[in-house]
Structure 1
Amino acid sequence: MQNLIPVHVGLVGHIDHGKTELAKCLSDKVFTAGLDKHPQSKKRGITIDLGFSMFSSDKYLVTLVDAPGHADLIRSVVAGASIIDAAILTVAADEGVQIQTIEHATVLKAMGIDKLFVAITKTDLVKNDQVKQVLREVRGIAKRLKLEPVDYIPVSAETGAGIQKMREILLDSLTPPDREDEGPLRIPIDHAFPVTGHGTVLTGTILRGSLSTGDAVQLMPGGSRATVRTIQTFGQERDSATAGDRVGVNAPAFDHDRIERGNYLCTPDSMKTAESLLIGVELNPGYQGRITARMVVKATVGMSSVTAEIVPFRKINGRKIPLKEPEKRVFEAALLLKEKVPAEIGNRVLLMRTDMPVTSMRIVGCGIINDIVRIVTLDQVRTKHGEISRIRDENVLIEGLARTKKRAQSLKGRTVHTKNGVKGKILDSFGTRGVVVGKFDDEVRIEEEIVLEDHIEEEHRFGR
């Protein structure tokens, strides 16, 4: 198994559209809480947690990541999308495209998952004409979202129709991405549990670096440390693992009750936690809501989801000026986090509105982390307005920018501009009533409005 190339494929789609049944049909083995092994999964008859299973060929070890389809569990879908290389979008032939179909496809697009397969499931329940109709629907959605699925495969978990073809198409089309074998270890944790006689076991997918038995590792956030006792991949013990491998790590010194999904196993002292992020954002074209300063969103970084406030801004002469609303669909923003999360520059951030109805598009957009800061400092612009009271041969007199001679003198050397954008400079004060002398780069008129801007640095944190 260690000689096989690891590839990770997510299964996404609307609730009860056959993801778990398809995973069972494709899989050789089921691991890590299994598929629908969670007690609430059995009770409610739906997937509520990430499930992991696998199948292999002579070349690939394919991990299937089964994500829940229920609207309330979208964060688990996003978490799964952070560790996959490709995805299967399931659409039930008897129901067709639903809101979570579109939402999950949007997540894949936002997270950069461009290798997509579409499985039209439950084909045994409908006639062929209905299957063709659903295919047309899905192709329309893919075109609208600018997705290019590798193939569309009708399948039935009940009869087995199309399952072998699905496997063959997957194995023929999968190409593992370049892995980061070098650099500090980084494993996002998706499950942690105790094993009698062994202690805590953590499971996850190595995104970067390598891991060997006996290695010292650190859990972030929190900072607790442990030594790796054993490593397994789908039940087989191994001495080491590298980027791309899915692993179970036995580290007895960790307390499993203190480990949450989204924590990271890493090389000690190699990873920072973020209180605030500066990100570049691209809005989701399907999102119909507004983005306003200090609006609360759910931000997902890797497998961690955290409540955050977003503050759009634009840069002017190196200053970050906050905006009430973004001016374009692509913009920069500060993300003020309610809780610290592990993060690195270059990580993707998915922004959601979980306060919106599940029948609407809740994916706001996706961002890339440009910087990680403890406190966000933005320049609030305060403007003072005056007007030209006299035009002289070499300069003009401006009233209204200051009330006293002392204040007028303090403005010497400051830049001003007209409403039309003509720039000027304050040369000196004039008289005793706050009048200033100014000179402009172009012609100005008597009584023309003049604007003086003051930039005041303000610190921004979540909730204040």
Structure 2
Amino acid sequence: MYVIATAGHVDHGKSTLISALTGMEPDRWAEEQRRGMTIDLGYAWTELDGDTVAFVDVPGHRKFLSNTLAGMGPVPAVLLVVASDEGWGRQTAEHVAALDALGVRHGVLALTRSDLGFPELAESEARDHLAGTSLAGIEAVAVSAVTGDGIPELRTALRRLTSALPSPPEQPTRLWVDRSFSVRGAGTIVTGTLATGTLRVGDDVEVVPSGQRVQVRGIETLKTSVGQANAVARVALNLRGVKPAEVPRGSALVAPGQWAVASTIDVRLSVDRVPEQALLHLGSAAVPVRVRPLVPGIARLSLAKAVPVRTGERALLRDPGREGIAAGVRVLDPYPPALERRRGAARRRGERLAELAGQGPEAEVRLRGAIRRDDLLRAGVAAPEETIDGWLVDPDVWQDWRAKLTELADRWAADNPMRPGIPPAEAIRQLGLPDRVVLEALVRADDGLVLDGDGVHRPDVRAVLPPDGRRAVDQLLERLSANAFDVPEPAELAAAAYLDVAVKQGELVRLPGAVYLRPEGLEHAASLLAALGRPFTASEARQALGTTRRIALPVLEELDRRGLTRRETKDLRSMPGGD
């Protein structure tokens, strides 16, 4: 199937021509019939030498430009209509500007009402206006839908057009929804142009921007039920698990996890200046955006809702105040980093984009510094196979991170002698790393660093207590040497940081409730309890240890955990191997 959109000024005969070509009436609404103009999108189709050609008939009136762009957005070719008795119209110019910005270069110029005007003059005028656009040089045919003159020639020209259309891009499935409604007994139906990929009955698809997963219950192409539809095609889908209001026009149905779903994108503009507030037209979506210039011709767009995009994709910016096309845009980066607050950050980002964007996979990685390979593939960029735990990292950035990590680890150890290993989260923050796995890979690549429970540090670095900390720990060790279970009250203990260091270095054992023992204290406790020679209660254990309940209970729990004692009943314990 081939899909072609109409374009042209209001009342230049687009719908009448489609009816003459297909024998079908594309206008759908009673209001359209009453007013004699297309208000929303209409659809019709015909056979050309055995191939199906579907037409998306768009409104020509300026008031309905948003509807027009929704029909043009996903379609690769155009039937441009100019009335022979009226010539080039204002909306013809606007439609061509949109098609040019979208990069549509395949089309046929139909000079309608040839029986009422001067098609040669209309063609000459149209050629002048098309010069310099993507549609310059398209074939022209004079035609009258009333008399039938030129209809066979137009069909032949359309066949030449479809034969010249390139194959759909090899991209995952994406369908832009242009209608959504409910049918009694069937449920939710959506229609749209399947521009890329394949849809099958039973497929799960993701609704963008909501992120909801839904299932395709049925597929129709041109009112015929099929089990599979391949791009490019007009399709109607019966969806399971969603209401029509949850998949309105402008939504997209995509292969789950295979598209960059972006609410901020960096783009190249077809002009240097655009309004700060605009509408982004992509596919059938019309999304309010805020435009932030980076450098002339490059800007950041902040979208009111997310859209599925790929690097290099074309879209439009429209000025809602003037109802005109403000600019064409080409997506440069659907994963832009947050801009630093430092002066000149936006300019530097723009210059970087101008230098690297679209220059191939290595340049795309260099542009970002580091990116997950899967994300680069979702953005439509060919990605190298070799990764660092799934990440692609620019070599210069990698070497910079390695050098800075060593410096950071040494500086941290000097500034924090009691905990000389920098915590991973702090290292990630200070280096600006994208993920912990990258930090782990950096450490593995550096024989001079380790990452363990103490953080990132050199292998031979150990915590060092300051003099007052050393005295406090030595005093506690001396007290416990005299009486293994004479543990001070929490308020009497030295600063917890000092004791933590002693625990890590094996000088002390910490039990719940701020109970500290020498490492041999637990073995000593077990020997005292074994001397009882029988099962014992917690109270009897406390007496045997010569300590308080606050100390005895954590000691008993730890002995249980280590298997040095065994709980017989709720109240009794015994020694393993005893009676």
User: What TM-score, normalized to structure 1?
Assistant: 0.69
* Unaligned 5+ runs, structure 1: 1-5, 284-289, 315-325, 383-464
Distance in 2 separating the partners of 1:254 and 1:72: 31
Determine whether 1:372 maps to 2:334: yes
Letter in 1 for 2:8: G
The structure where helix makes up a greater share of residues is 2
Q: Is 2:208–2:306's contact at 8 Å kept on the other side of the alignment?
A: no
Match of 1:333 in 2: 299
Determine whether 1:312 maps to 2:274: no
CA 378–304 in structure 1, closer or farther in 2 if over 3 Å, else same: farther
Match of 1:14 among 9, 12, 26: 9
Distance in 1 separating the partners of 2:329 and 2:73: 13
Determine whether 1:150 maps to 2:127: no
The structure where strand makes up a greater share of residues is 1
Distance in 1 separating the partners of 2:335 and 2:232: 29
How far 1:256 sits from its partner (Å)? 1.0
Match of 2:240 in 1: 252
Other structure's SS at 2:146 match: coil
How far 1:311 sits from its partner (Å)? 1.7
How far 1:146 sits from its partner (Å)? 5.9
Of 66-75 and 243-252, more deviation after overlay is shown by 243-252
Deviation digits for residues 146-195 of structure 1, max 9, x if unmatched? 632332111111111111110011113322322245x5321111112212
Match of 1:226 among 206, 214, 220: 214
Distance in 1 separating the partners of 2:48 and 2:114: 26
Distance in 2 separating the partners of 1:280 and 1:119: 32
Q: Is 1:180–1:243's contact at 8 Å kept on the other side of the alignment?
A: no
Q: Is 1:230–1:251's contact at 8 Å kept on the other side of the alignment?
A: yes
Q: Is 1:116–1:149's contact at 8 Å kept on the other side of the alignment?
A: no
Match of 2:503 in 1: none
CA 146–184 in structure 1, closer or farther in 2 if over 3 Å, else same: closer
Distance in 2 separating the partners of 1:36 and 1:29: 9
Q: Is 2:27–2:43's contact at 8 Å kept on the other side of the alignment?
A: no
Q: Is 1:280–1:333's contact at 8 Å kept on the other side of the alignment?
A: yes
Match of 1:411 in 2: none
How far 1:312 sits from its partner (Å)? 1.6
Match of 2:168 among 156, 161, 179: 179
Distance in 2 separating the partners of 1:253 and 1:208: 23
Other structure's SS at 1:16 match: coil
Match of 1:346 in 2: 312
How far 1:28 sits from its partner (Å)? 4.8
Letter in 1 for 2:72: A
* 1:272-311 matched pairs, under 5 angstroms: 272-283=260-271, 291=273, 295-311=276-292
How far 1:110 sits from its partner (Å)? 1.1
Distance in 1 separating the partners of 2:134 and 2:208: 36
Determine whether 1:263 maps to 2:251: yes
Other structure's SS at 2:326 match: strand
Q: Is 2:75–2:193's contact at 8 Å kept on the other side of the alignment?
A: no
Distance in 1 separating the partners of 2:108 and 2:341: 46
Q: State the structure with bigger RCO (CA 8 A, min sep 6), 1 or 2.
A: 1
Distance in 1 separating the partners of 2:169 and 2:57: 24
Q: Is 1:81–1:111's contact at 8 Å kept on the other side of the alignment?
A: no
Match of 2:111 among 115, 120, 126: 120
How far 1:9 sits from its partner (Å)? 1.1
CA 42–226 in structure 1, closer or farther in 2 if over 3 Å, else same: same
User: What TM-score, normalized to structure 2?
Assistant: 0.56
Letter in 1 for 2:90: I
Distance in 2 separating the partners of 1:380 and 1:153: 58
Larger Rg: 2
Output the aligned Cα RMSD: 2.2
How far 1:366 sits from its partner (Å)? 1.0
Aligned length: 343
CA 146–341 in structure 1, closer or farther in 2 if over 3 Å, else same: closer
Letter in 2 for 1:347: E
Q: Is 2:18–2:24's contact at 8 Å kept on the other side of the alignment?
A: no
Letter in 2 for 1:133: L
Deviation digits for residues 19-51 of structure 1, max 9, x if unmatched? 000111111556xxxx22123323432111111
Deviation digits for residues 117-158 of structure 1, max 9, x if unmatched? 1111112223xxx33222221111112536323321111111
* Unaligned 5+ runs, structure 2: 345-579
Distance in 2 separating the partners of 1:222 and 1:39: 32
CA 146–271 in structure 1, closer or farther in 2 if over 3 Å, else same: closer
Deviation digits for residues 255-281 of structure 1, max 9, x if unmatched? 012221121112233344322110011
Of 340-349 and 239-248, more deviation after overlay is shown by 340-349
Letter in 1 for 2:21: L
CA 170–75 in structure 1, closer or farther in 2 if over 3 Å, else same: same
Distance in 2 separating the partners of 1:311 and 1:168: 47
Q: Is 2:269–2:327's contact at 8 Å kept on the other side of the alignment?
A: yes
Of 10-19 and 332-341, more deviation after overlay is shown by 332-341
Q: Is 1:10–1:66's contact at 8 Å kept on the other side of the alignment?
A: yes
* 1:73-152 matched pairs, under 5 angstroms: 73-126=64-117, 130-145=118-133, 147-152=135-140
Q: Is 1:297–1:307's contact at 8 Å kept on the other side of the alignment?
A: yes
Letter in 2 for 1:338: A
CA 258–146 in structure 1, closer or farther in 2 if over 3 Å, else same: closer
CA 305–67 in structure 1, closer or farther in 2 if over 3 Å, else same: same
Match of 2:325 in 1: 363
Letter in 2 for 1:23: I
